[in-house]
Amino acid sequence: MSRHTDGSRRRNEYSGAGIYLENCGVQQSYSLGSHATVCQAEVYTILMVAQREDVKNCTEEKIFICSNSQAALKAIALQGEDQCLLCGDALESLARQKEVGLVWAPGHMGIPGKERVD
C-alpha cells in the first residue's frame, strides 16, 4: 500500500507538510514555520511516515512512500544534511521490519492518493 507525502511553501511566508496513508485513511498536515524550504518540507514528510507506529505495525510486508520531489529523494539518498541523515536512519530502521520503497510520483497527474495529499 502507498503512503503519499507533500511539502509546500507559500510565497516566502510559511512552509507546510502533509501525509496521506492510503490503507487507513489517515491524513495529517504539519506547519513548519517560515524557514523551511520546499525540499526540507518534502524530506520532513518522508521522515514522518517512516517514524509512524501505525506504519511500522501494519500487516503489509511492502511499504511504498510516494513523493513528487526528486530533489528530496536525491537528498535522502545522498544523506548530505542532518535532516536527510535522520530520515535515512528512520527509513533504515523501518526497512529492518518491512520492505521499503521510495517512489517518485509526479505531482498533479491524477494519482488519487497524491492528489489527496496535495
Q: What is the CATH number of the domain that holds 14?
A: 3.30.420.10
pTM of the complete model: 0.84
Instruction: Provide the residue range defining the domain that includes 77.
Output: 2-117
Total number of domains in the chain? 1
**Beta strand extents in the chain (DSSP E only):** 2-9, 15-21, 26-31, 62-67, 99-104
Tell me which amino acid residue 17 is.
A
Cβ atoms within 10 Å of 13's Cβ, excluding its own: 8
Q: Tell me the per-residue pLDDT of 40-49, one tens digit each, with 9 for 90 and over.
A: 999 999 999 9
Q: Tell me the per-residue pLDDT of 2-40, one tens digit each, with 9 for 90 and over.
A: 787 888 888 878 999 999 888 777 889 999 999 898 899
Q: Which of 38, 48, 29, 15 is nearest to 116 (CA)?
A: 29
- Owner of C-alpha cell 516566502: 12
